[in-house]
Amino acid sequence: MGLFSDVLDFIEQSRMKKALTEKHKCYKFHIENLWNNARFDETLKTIFSLLKMKDENDKDIDVEVKFIVDDVRKVLEFQDAKDDPIQVPERLVRGLWMRMGYAGYVNDVSYLKSKLPKPYKFFVRCTVHALHHRKGGFDV
């Protein structure tokens, strides 16, 4: 394994292992449909959306779905606590990129994976592809 063994060990121990390794189909149409009809309720901290489904008689009906951060944590089996942070402070992100050997400007708003050493470039590529529905344009 050599070069990538540290990255593979990290993935194996990560709370995001299921999200990074499990195969699933997520069609662009479904994602667009969800977000085109979505609304966020600030007081409930909940996302609501209308999805079209077929009933028993094969007629189209609108069904309201709702989900919160806890639902995402449960489905992806993050194995973290409700109070764990979901955003990382900017200074910690910059420090992480520097420790990974990032060769670009670390105070920029966007980071390029092409500026990372090979093992981290591979890890970032796998993470981005696992968590996104697009097929290309992932350098930034």
**What are the per-10-residue average pLDDT scores of the chain (140 residues)?**
66 72 73 83 88 85 85 74 72 80 75 80 76 57
pLDDT value at residue 128: 74
Six-digit token string for 34: 């969800």
C-alpha to C-alpha distance for 49 and 71, rounded to whole angstroms: 15
C-alpha to C-alpha distance for 124 and 30, rounded to whole angstroms: 25
pLDDT value at residue 136: 56
Decide: residue 115, CB within 10 A, 0-12 exposed, 13-18 middle, 19+ buried.
middle
Six-digit token string for 72: 């995402």
Per-position DSSP letters for 77-110, written without gaps between them: T----TTS-SS--HHHHHHHHHHTT--S-TTSSS
pLDDT value at residue 134: 58
C-alpha 85: how far from chain center = 15
Summary count for the chain: helices (H), strands (E): 6, 3
Residue 138 near residue 128 (C-beta atoms within 8 A): yes
List CB contacts of 12: < 8 A, sequence separation 6 or more.
none
Q: Among positive and negative, which fits the CA dihedral 46, 48, 53, 57?
A: positive
Amino acid at 98: M
